[in-house]
Every structure is written in structure tokens, then in C-alpha cells.
Amino acid sequence: MFLANLMIERELEVWDRLSAVSDPELDEPITDMNFVERVEISDTDAVLVEFRLPTYWCSPNFAFLMAFGIRTEVLALPWVREVTVQLNDHCFGDEVNAGVNSGRSFREIFAENCDGAVLDEVVEKFAAKAFDRRQEVVLLAARSLVGSAANVVSMKLGVLRKMHFSGEEELRQLPRYLDLLEERELAVNDDDLAFPTWEGKVIPAEELEAHLKRLRSTRINMEFNGAMCRGLASTRYHEVEIGPEGPTLIDFMAGRVPPRTAPQAGH
Amino acid sequence: MFKTPEGKEIFVIDGHTHFWDGSPENQSNIHGKQFIDCFYAYHTNLSPTEELWEKSKFEKYSEEDIYRDLFIDGPNDMAIIQSTYLKDFYKNGFSSIERSTKMAARHPERFIVNGSFDPRDGEKALEYIHYMKEEFDIKGVKMYTAEWNGDSKGWALNDPSAYKCFELCDKLGIRNIHVHKGPTIIPLSKDAFDVHDVDYAATDFQNLNWIIEHCGLPRLDDFCWIATQETNVYGGLAVALPFIHSRPRYFAEVIAELLWWVGEDKILFGSDYAIWTPQWLVEKLWAFQIPEDISSERGGVQLTEEIKEKILGLNAAKLYNIDVEAKKKQLAGAPVQIAAE
């Protein structure tokens, strides 16, 4: 019983790390997108993670990034001795799987598969889009609390950190926004501006509307893609069936297990 | 002809349809299977339940099926058939101009069949453009920049070899360049959905009309910006429109962005048949209004009846020099044939 509990605990730890891997294009955790199909932990503390994207054609460069992201996150757990990442049913599956499990760096593997190209520019472009999307949610919420454009564009990070939001999306995006500010050193200290542009500039109050218009179009685009991917993923995952030994943890996480009906009286 | 609930007759040109053969017999390899499977996933994901097809019909439908779905059960007056070869995936191509033309020959007044070419074929591509002009008198082509060709996994509209082809199109009067910029397959090391090559090509070829299918989704934001700058860039609604059923608010946001940035004269209806059938799409579009909150954020843009008529047919008629009144008369003299011939 103790061992079974430990295994469940460890599997949950793996899931927790996996939720830190995002689809770069959608800025959504791969676990929320139901991309992860299987997590298996062996007796020797080796972890196998299988994932599948919404289509066979999904961009291989993002597939590479996600595969390496999975590897890095799972290896960060102290008890993990070995990680195998497996991308299923993808036009570049063999290359991705060979690359990510070779122990070599992302840069090296990617360059080898793409005539020496690096992905920095694409990664940077999508980081900027992710920033826009997170900022829009937080900025709109903050503006509704402080009233004027001038107040919100001059708001300090310390004030934002102490703000209380109520909406579900605002609560979800605030920590993600703060993380990105810090990671990119756009705002680190309490007296730094809470809402700089991606280039680290101040948004002039009179340009706030134009700025928000741009953020909105980034968001619509990303949401649209997200809706498309979720739909395609759910269609594709229809084929996945619950095995003979009954549902496993992943079936519950992926919402594949129907809710239990209450036992009827008299039974 | 689409009849509104009030009895008004609306002229419909379906700007994006196919007559394909994705059947197992025509597949060359696993990619061919995965390609049609992916289309089928789009179909099952975004269609209303009552519009779902069996997989085998979806893989290969008949000449009778397409005529019935578009013109008898469907609202179309005319349909533009696009060619997509995918020669590495399908033995006889996915939807070739020859096969589509043979089908269309039964009702030539209703179809416009477009060609396609691959600039990476060099001299052969130029010869092929001449062949399509002479043999089929094409008015437009469909470009598939993500198509695989040997080692190449894609190309860009502003590649020098592509420019040679567009120069020839311009010279021969092939004015309508439909470009697939949408859900796609990979130029590997780039952003697979990048739309910036449209900007260059549209600037350098002002005589040509650049119809960006799927509105550049999933790069709608970049596409809107480019289409605002370039007067000869149009957006095709295929793939965006089916969201009207499953996620109407998203669709409202997308169409509001397009109306605001791209404008009512440059948006074209397309069902993407046989991924979706046109009847339910047109019915829903006609009944659709952009919710007040979404509209007010974009200067009050709205889908008026006048704008819907433009999107459903009048905009495409302009691009293809179709005299709508004359066409209506011609079609009235050749009504859809419901009984078997």
C-alpha cells in the first residue's frame, strides 16, 4: 500500500512538472491541452512520457521544443534517474524521438535536422506573443481597478503584486505574467513599472488604447488556434480506449473517465 | 441561389471547393493517409452532428455528390474548384485539374476550375503554366507553399523561382492567386505559418489578386496587418467560418477583426467543400450578427445584409469578371437538375 501511494505521488509530481511545459504557439500548458498520453515510472526510477499532438502535421519545430521541455522538466525531479520521451504519430516523430533521447542538446539536434538552422527567432516571436496575451488580461483587470489610463501605465510592480483579482482567467494569468516579467527582467523590483512593453519601454497613457488593440488581436489569434487544437486533439484522441485493466491516472486527468453514477437504492 | 427567410435571393459563389481523391487506392504512403485523416478530423470536429459524413465517402465522393451538395441541397450558384496535387503523397494527385475539369464539364456554367503549379520545378513549372492556360484557360491558381517536393519541405511566394512564375501568370492574364496560408505542413526551421511572403509578392505584383485562404489563420494578426497595407490582398473565409457553429463568439471576433482591418470588399466566402458543405454555413452566416460588445470595440463594425451579399458572392464575382445579372439569367435557363439524367 505504501509503495502504491508512493508511485501515485511520484506520478503526480511528474504531472506537476509537465504542466510547466507549454505549447509555444498557444501559450497553454501541454497538460491542459491533453497532449500527454502516458506517464510510466519503472522500478528503477526511469520515467517514460508519451505525448501526441492534435495532428500528424503539427509544426515539428514546436514538437522539438515541447519534447525537450518535457525532458528538462522531468529530469529536474531529484529521484528521476532516466527519462524517455516519445512523440506518437507525427510526421517527424522518429527524428524528434531520436533527438530528445540522445542526451545531446536541443541546439545541436535541431541544427542537424534543419541544415544548421537555429530556432531562436521563432522562439522569441512566440515568447513576445505569449507576453502580449498575458499582459492583456492583467492590464485590463488592473485598469478596471485603478480607473484611468494614466494610473495603470504608471503602476509599480509592488502595487500589482498586492492586487486582488477575482476572475478565473485573471487569477490564472497573473502569476504567469509575473513569471515572464521576472524571467525577461522586464520588471523585477517593487518600484519597477508593472506594465512595460515587450521591448521594456513605457506605454504612454495616450497610446494605451492602440496598445490594447494590438494585444487583443494577438489574443484572438491565439485563442482561435487553441480552440482549433483542442477540437482536433479531442477528435484524434477519440480512438484512445481505456485498457483492460481499467482507467489509469491519465484517463482521469484527460477527462476520459465518465463520472460514477450513484448506486441505486435496493442494490 | 440562397433564399433568405424573407424570400430574398442571394447570389453565392463558393470561393474554395475541391474535387479530391484521398482514397486508400490513391494513397502513395503513410503521409497520404495522414493527410486525408487530418482533413477528416477538421470535418468531424467542426461540423454539426447532422452534417457528418462516413469516412469512405469523405475520402472519395462522386461527381453526383459534389453537384448535389453544392447546387441542389446547397445554396451555391457557382463554385471555384481548387487544384492541390500533393504528388509525393498521392499516386494521381490529390485533386488534379484534369479530373476536376472532367467533372466540371457536365455543368460548365457553374464551375471555375483553377490550376496549381510548383515553382521549384523551374522551367517545367513555366511550361506547365502555359499548358494550363492553353488547355483549360485558367483564371486562377492555388498555391500550396507548404507542399513537399523531394527534399524540400516548402517554399515562399517571394522566392526568385516563384517570381518567374508570377511574371508569366501576369503576362497570360492569370490574375487570381489563391494562397493556402492556414493550418499546414511545415517549412521546418521557420515559423510554419508565416504570412510575410504575401507582403512582398503583393507589393511586387500589383496586377495580381492575392486571395489568402483561411485568412492566414493561425496568423490572423499578421495577416490583418498585411492586408491593410496592400490593396490587392483578400481573405478567404474557409476554415474560419465553421467556427460560427461550434464557437460563435470566436467567429464574431475573427470576422470583426477582418471587417475592421481588411474591409467588407475583400472578404470571400468559401466552404472548403468537402471538408464542410455550404448549406449550413451560408444559413448560419446569413443569420449571424456580431454581438454588441465585440462590435463596439471595433468601431461598431457589423455584418449587414449588404456586406453579407458581398462576402457570399459579389466580391468573388468582381475578381473573376462575372456579370452577376447575366449569370443569374443564364442559370435560370439551366436550373439544377434534380432528377437523374
The amino acid at residue A117 is: A
Q: Which residue on chain B is closest to A226 by alpha carbon? A: B218
Mean pLDDT (chain B, rounded): 91
Put simply, whether B334 touches A (Cβ < 8 Å) is no
- Each residue of B263-296: pLDDT tens digit? 999 999 999 999 999 999 999 999 999 999 999 9
Which pLDDT belongs to residue A243?
Answer: 52
Q: How many other CB atoms are found less than 10 A from the CB of residue B127?
A: 13
Contact residues, chain B, for A225 at CB < 8 Å: 217-218
Specify the pLDDT at position A155: 97
CB atoms within 10 A of CB B251: 23
Subunit contact A224:B218, Cβ cutoff 8 A: yes
Name the one residue in this structure whose C-alpha cell is 456586406. Answer: B307
Shortest Cα distance from A217 to chain B (angstroms)?
A: 6
pLDDT tens digits along A153-205? 999 999 999 999 999 999 999 999 999 999 999 999 999 999 999 999 999 99
Calpha distance B20→B54 (Å, rounded): 15
Q: Does A34 touch chain B (CB under 8 A)?
A: no
**How would residue A149 be classed by pLDDT, with cut points 50, 70 and 90?**
very high
Identify which has the larger pLDDT, B185 or B127.
Answer: B127
CA distances to A262, B247 from A265, rounded to whole Å, are 9, 41
- Region of A117 on the Ramachandran plot (φ > 0 left; ψ -120 to 50 alpha; else beta): beta
Q: Would you place residue B182 in the very low, low, confident or very high pLDDT band (cuts 50, 70, 90)?
A: low
Q: What is the mean pLDDT of residues B158-185?
A: 89
pTM: 0.84
Closest CB to B188 among A60, A125, A221: A60
Per-residue pLDDT band for B196 (boundaries 50, 70, 90) equals confident
A56-65, B116-125, B166-175, B309-318: segment of lowest average pLDDT? A56-65
The conformational region for residue A256 under phi > 0 = left, psi -120 to 50 = alpha, else beta, is alpha
- Closest chain A CA to residue B220: A221
Q: Is the pLDDT of residue A247 over 70?
A: no
The pLDDT value recorded for residue A264 is 41
* CA atoms B40, B41, B45, B49: torsion sign: positive
Closest CA of chain A from B5, distance in Å: 30
Q: How confident is the model at residue B316 (pLDDT cuts 50, 70, 90)?
A: very high
Q: Is there a contact between A149 and A205 (Cβ–Cβ < 8 Å)?
A: yes
Tell me: cis bond preceding B5? Omega within 30 of 0 counts.
no
Model confidence over B25-55: pLDDT tens digits? 999 999 899 889 988 988 998 899 999 999 9
Contact A217 B31 (CB under 8 A): no
Q: Which of A34, A59, A234 to mutate to test the interface with B (most CBs of B within 10 A)?
A: A59
**Which residue, B162, B187, B190, is CA-closest to B177?**
B162
Q: How confident is the model at residue B216 (pLDDT cuts 50, 70, 90)?
A: confident
pLDDT for res A257 = 46
> Residue A61: which of B188, B220, B254 has the nearest Cβ?
B188
pLDDT of B338 reads 60
Q: What angle do CA B198, B199, B200 make, to 5 degrees?
A: 95
Could you tell me how far CA B247 lies from the centroid of its own chain? 21
The mean per-residue pLDDT over the stretch A103-110 comes to 80
Residue of B nearest to A117 (CA): B189
* pLDDT (tens digit per residue) in B320-334: 999 999 999 999 887
SS (H, E, C) chain A: CHHHHHHHHHHHHHHHHHCCCEECCCCEECCCCCCEEEEEECCCCEEEEEECCCCCCCCHHHHHHHHHHHHHHHHCCCCCCEEEEEECCCCCHHHHHHHHCCCCCHHHHHHHHCCCCCCHHHHHHHHHHHHHHHHHHHHHHHHHHHCCHHHHHCCEHHHHHCCCCCCHHHHHHHHHHHHHHHHCCCCCCCCCECCCCCCCCCCCHHHHHHHHHHHHHHHHHHHHHHHHHHHHHHHHHCCCCCCCCCCCHHHHHCCCCCCCCCCCCCC
In the prediction, which pLDDT does A263 show?
Answer: 38
- A105: exposed, middle or buried (C-beta count within 10 Å: 0-12, 13-18, 19+)? exposed
Of A101-110, A121-130, A254-263, B88-97, give the range with the top mean pLDDT: B88-97
pLDDT (tens digit per residue) in A24-51: 888 999 999 889 999 999 999 999 999 9
- Band of residue A242 on the pLDDT scale cut at 50, 70, 90: very low
Cβ B188–A25 below 8 Å, yes or no? no
With bands split at pLDDT 50, 70 and 90, how would you rate the model's confidence at A265?
very low
In tens, the pLDDT along B57-96 reads 999 999 999 999 999 999 999 999 999 888 888 999 999 9
The percentage of chain A sitting over the pLDDT mark of 70, rounded to a whole number, equals 85
> CB within 8 A of B340, min separation 6: which ones?
none
Query: pLDDT value at position A258?
Result: 42
For the four alpha carbons of B22, A230, B190 and B188, in that order, the dihedral sign comes to negative
Q: Calculate the average pLDDT of chain A.
A: 85
Rounded to two decimals, the ipTM of the complex is: 0.73
